[in-house]
A and B are shown apart, each in its own frame.
Chain A
Amino acid sequence: MKQVKALVLRAAGINCDYESVHALELAGAAADRIHINRVIENTDLLKEYQILLFPGGFSYGDDVAAGKILANQIVHHLSEPLTQFLADGKLMLGICNGFQVLAKTGILPGFADDRAGNKSVTNLTEPAVSVIDNDSGKFEDRWAYLQSESEHCVFIKKGQRIYLPVAHGEGKVVTRDESVLSKLENEDHIAFRYVDADGKVGGFPVNPNGSFNSIAGLTDSTGRVLGLMPHPERFVRRTQHPHWTRLEGDSEADGMIIFNNAVEYVKKTL
């Protein structure tokens, strides 16, 4: 069977790269941590990989806004190779800061009409969606339930409820206006919504940051880009569950679902 390869993109201030590599390896991929300077020097590097993971952290200190400076760097140096990467049918996963980067480059939400006609996947003007300061005004680390909603996102099956940690100060998903929000809903872009243990949406802390429509993660029109604020790479073994000492049996760690699906998809499709 072919070896699935993943590139975990490093940059100044990125700090979830090791555990992201670990999660991908558990799922059966071979993963490399590579600094963005190496990718800019040699964009052909991307051709060797089928999964591109934008890990969590504080790229460039979240200066100006979370993910903004890295997004700017990507748009000015990597737009073309990333457009090609997606055109080749490959996968992108942005976690926490990585999601913020995907939103701020314009790669997400990636509406079908934005992507029509081989247009660049990045776009800095008139962004539709952003990820901004939590309503609480501060960084918070807590666990949240997520309900998967998308029919076409390859990282997850619709209707699954998973439990993952969130850890961010800027995780509130907002849209430019109501029409963008409806479009996200109507065109199946909502990958995850924050819910309670019973699957119902609610206020804080069920929705930990005040996201519009409780949005926790978005997918693009192809379903091959996923960005989410929660951290699947932080729940890849049972003893990472916040009260694993109370749980009976050997249930799978929820975060692995996303990595397993990604690797499976690449094996089957690419």
Chain B
Amino acid sequence: MRQWRFEISSRHGFPDVHGQMVLEDIQELGISSVKAVHFTHVFLIEAEFDGEFAQRVGEELLTDTVYQQFEIGRAPLPAGLENATVIEVHLKSGVTDPVARSVVTALQDMGVTPGSVRTARKFVMEGNISTADRDNIVKRVLANDCIEDVIFGSDAEPPSPHTEPYALKITEVPIRDLDDEQLEKLSKDMDMFLNLTEMHTIQNYYKQIGREPRDVELETIAQTWSEHCVHKTLTSSVELDHDGQKVEYKNLLKDTVFKATKDLNRDWCISVFADNAGVVEFDDDSAICFKVETHNHPSALDPYGGAATGIGGVIRDPMGTGLGAKPIANTDIFCFGEPDMELEDVPKGVLHPRRIMKGVVSGVRDYGNRMGIPTVNGAIYFDDRYIANPLVFCGNLGIMPKDKCFGQASKGDYVIVVGGRTGRDGIHGATFSSGQMTHEHEDIFSHAVQIGDAIVEKKVLDVLLQAREQNLYDAITDCGAGGLSSAVGEMGEEIGVSVDLEKVPLKYAGLNYTEIWISEAQERMVISVKPENVEKVTALFASEDVEATVIGQFTGDNQLTLKYDDKEVGQLGMEFLHSGICKPLKKAVWKTKDLSEPKLSEKDNYNDDLLAILSSYNVASKEWVIRQYDHEVQGASVVKPLVGIANDGPGDAAVIKPKFDSNKGTALACGMNPLYGDIDPYWMALSGIDEAIRNIISVGGRPDRIAILDNFCWGDCNKPETMGALVRACQACYDGAMGFEVPFISGKDSLNNEFVCDDGTEIAIPPTLLISAMTLVDDIDKCVTMDVKKPGNLLFAVGLTKNELGGSHFYKVNGKLGANVPTVDISASAQTAKRIYEAIQAGLVRSCHDCSEGGLATALAEMAFAGGFGIDADLRGLAKTDDCVETHAQLFSESNSRYVVEVEPANYDAFAKLMVNTPFGQIGEVVADKRLAISDAKQKKVIDADIDTLKEAWQKPLNW
């Protein structure tokens, strides 16, 4: 077949947006030798058509001739640019290329079926560019060598797209006679990430059954027993030495997080910790499910692809819960190194935090937006300890009919895989994400990166919901970490299943049976279908161009049987596979830290501190990120992430109205503060719960229907101190859930977030617990937002302000940590939340804002500039503890359980009556003059600033 090359570029007079953006990224690297960048799309099409038809393809399909031009063959370099640097970036063979797939479809619409289509990006760079600069640009801006190949110059040929076919070869891996050292070596050589005890368990199993394992069996065991899939650490027995006192847990998670859910035993919890997402009741007919996952390791290597598949993966969780939910909202929380870090300070093998952030945000944006799911909530946290291990938490909320919350595969059902094809992408993702990263990971684990194609997943979703309504399948699960091995293995856990691996549709030839079985290629779901429904199911999927393929059957023999071309290539007992792993005993140590409060002298004026806090990365506006997400698709938004007179203030929680015909809503928020963990992870965790609840309460959410999720991201828990911090956080989860009466309904952990630099130094992330929360809103018309509404209205601070600056942003901007970490008086906090809820329901609240990072002064500043009015505040009205005397403590203490509330003067009495016995006080009023003025106990103005200045300080840092 003839290969046609098409090059498409902007026509003279029209901007070259992609070239311009690349130039900006290059300049951000500090490279000034590049004067201009010209961008060209390249299409390589193998097909039997003639020159005339090629002309039509160029003109009608590939080029928008209004503003673009095309060239068949290689476009000559523009005059005067003969010495320009020419770089082409091609996808490595086998990497998913969604654009190419669409071009195939379009060519078929034109009446031609091509042999192959590939796309590439070509950059022509003007300027006297050194080889070192060129290579730096390629590495940092243009390409990711995990998934892309780069060729230089105008004449170089792109890599061949063709792969070799596969011939069956069954591989045995002798294990029965290995000694300890050899067992450990085997675990390492096969990237199994299993310890010696686990390897012994496997060895004994094969001794018992009297044969050697096949490679695919070991891979299946390694994946099933991976930290990522089985949560060994959190479910282990623990011996904690707490300041010299022994505390024991039989199963850490079951004794803390699970236990709270079990003890609370709420009847509106439909399915907890059992399915791919936690499920709670929404109304008489519907249920809501919620899941948050992390995708940290892949995002470190390929920020764009890692984050995209992170959101793509978590969307499949609600889709694969019960009999499948419709995704209705996304939530994304990220942790990065500070974006202004010098390039030289970035460790080898690590991408610059700014590039990671840009890539992660684009990845989430492109996948979430394409799926048509609004991204309504999020947070970004910066700390240099995330430099090598960025954290990417992606969450999804789905809605489903109450009678579709459970599914069950039965003997005789067929196993059908639907959606994307299987390729070599994402091999060893589950095991890789369970281990520590090093500077060599980039090279070794490039295959663990998965490539997403949102439209395939959207197509799957569109058809699945129809198939669900027609009751065409009995059970469903998503293909996530561990691929088919995990999905099919779990579905068949109770009954046994046999799979014909050669039937799995592949992206390209050459995959062996093990690769097919463990590939984590995206956009695949597995359903179990009764024989009489198979034809209907495949026809329904085909009607919208989605592949659905029978690959096996549930057997009833309690065995996992893998075949290729009718030959058995692996067999494992389900019992051994799912229950054979021995849970370790973990040692944990917690020593209360010996910290002290810094002595900071009082100042006459705190404008500078307030400005510094507002413009610290953690507090600063995230509008640049939020606007890139479609937060309104599906038409359900009620409280958007940005609120206020100019639609740019920081909303506390998102509210959506999932049903067109009901005024009922659901509110969604999160809480996280890793800085407190540097003092005590117990209070960090409780603060996270308190903050998530406060956020939800602030918009009008119900306090009695809050469900929460935990996501633990920790360092190496084989270190007793790190494990001790984890136990402390788990203890807080139990206490918080019980005290607030908020059950955990789902959770996930990602451990070993540590990095070994090439010089041997280790960087561990700070213990990080994300609490995500959701609740019901009975009547969305009663929701409130945080922006002040009208001059003359009164402002109240509700909740007690304590001398708690430990881990605060005020200390952070002054280079201190402190000791007095914010604590939580749980019963008082729950009471306050209830009162605020009642006041909002009674219509007494015009605005309400959670008082958190940056304390009262920051909350007031945000309310003022979001509303476009000034605030006159007086700290004499503040309800505070006796030791909270210093002005900076009153202004910036981050005590939990506090709200700032705006009330119309006419409602003063009604509001005050509702707040009786709750610490609260009038601290000021809204004024027309656009200034934030705060006076201290002696009536001295300690803050007096123009709200536009404050807003600018808050908006500027991340306004990229």
Contact = CB atoms under 8 A, between A and B. Distances in A.
A167 B787 contact: no
Given A35-B543, A76-B109, A141-B629, A126 B372 contact: no
> Considering residues B371, B632, B643, B847, which has the most beta carbons from chain A within 10 angstroms of its beta carbon?
B632
Q: A143, A231, A239 — which one has the most chain B CB atoms within 10 A of its CB? A: A239
Interface in B447-473: 453-455, 458-459, 462
Contacts of A38: 543
Contacts of B789: 245-246
Contacts of A12: 455, 458-459, 544-545
Interface stretch (A84-92, A113-121, A129-137, A145-153): A129-137
A139 B103 contact: no
Contact of B632 (A14, A35, A141): A141
A60 interface: yes
Contacts of A18: 634-635, 660
Given A18-B634, A239-B780, A245-B785, A137 B455 contact: no
B66 A127 contact: yes
Contacts of B99: 61, 63-64
Given A12-B544, A68-B64, A242-B642, A135 B17 contact: yes
Contacts of B644: 243, 246
Interface residues of A, number: 62
B62 A167 contact: no
Interface string B95-128: 0001101110110011100000000000000000
Interface in A57-87: 57-58, 60-65, 68-69, 72-73, 76-77
Given A72-B106, A139-B628, A236 B635 contact: yes
Contact of A63 (B98, B640, B647): B98
Contacts of B67: 130, 132, 174
Contact of A242 (B455, B459, B544, B640): B640
Interface in A14-51: 14-16, 18-19, 22-23, 35, 37-38
B645 interface: yes
A224 B458 CA distance: 31
A221 to B, nearest CB: 19
A176 interface: yes
A202 interface: no
Nearest to A25: B660
B262 interface: no
Contacts of A254: none
A90 to B, nearest CB: 24
A246 B62 CA distance: 47
A193 interface: no
Given A72-B60, A239-B657, A239-B780, A141 B458 contact: no
B103 A132 contact: no
Contacts of A128: 66
Contacts of A62: 370
Contacts of B103: 63-64, 69
A248 to B, nearest CB: 10
A258 B638 CA distance: 21
Contact of B785 (A16, A176, A236, A243): A243
A218 to B, nearest CB: 13
Interface in B635-693: 635, 637-640, 642-645, 647, 657, 660
Contacts of A165: 632
Contacts of B64: 65, 68, 104, 127, 130, 132
A64 B62 contact: yes
Contacts of A10: 462
Most buried by A among B544, B627, B635: B635
A240 B785 contact: no
B633 interface: yes
B438 interface: no
B61 A126 contact: no
B544 A35 contact: yes
A5 interface: no
B783 interface: yes
A42 B312 CA distance: 34
Contacts of B544: 12, 35, 37
B502 interface: no
B369 interface: yes
Contacts of B18: 133, 137
A73 B61 CA distance: 10
B102 A137 contact: no
A216 B62 CA distance: 25
A52 B105 CA distance: 24
A140 interface: yes
Contacts of B462: 10
B454 A61 contact: yes
A14 B634 CA distance: 11
Interface in A186-235: 231, 233-234
A141 B627 contact: yes
A73 to B, nearest CB: 5
A13 B634 contact: no
B14 interface: yes
Contacts of B780: 239
A140 B365 CA distance: 10
A36 to B, nearest CB: 9
A58 B106 contact: no
B595 interface: no
A138 interface: yes
A62 B65 CA distance: 17
Contacts of B632: 141, 165, 167, 231, 234, 240
B704 interface: no
Nearest to A238: B781
Contacts of B639: 245
A240 to B, nearest CB: 6
A91 B389 CA distance: 54
B543 A139 contact: no
B370 A13 contact: yes
A175 interface: yes
B20 interface: yes
A112 interface: no
A142 B647 contact: yes
Contacts of B279: none
Interface string B47-66: 00000000000011110111
A234 B453 contact: no
Nearest to B700: A245
Given A37-B544, A65-B64, 12 more contacts: A19-B634, A58-B369, A58-B370, A68-B64, A76-B111, A133-B18, A138-B362, A138-B365, A140-B628, A236-B635, A245-B783, A246-B787
27 contacts: A12-B544, A15-B370, A15-B371, A15-B633, A15-B634, A19-B633, A35-B544, A61-B455, A63-B99, A65-B64, A73-B109, A76-B111, A125-B60, A127-B65, A130-B64, A141-B626, A141-B627, A167-B630, A233-B635, A234-B633, A234-B635, A234-B637, A239-B783, A243-B643, A245-B639, A246-B645, A246-B867
Q: 4 nearest interchain CB pairs?
A: A15-B372, A19-B635, A63-B102, A130-B66
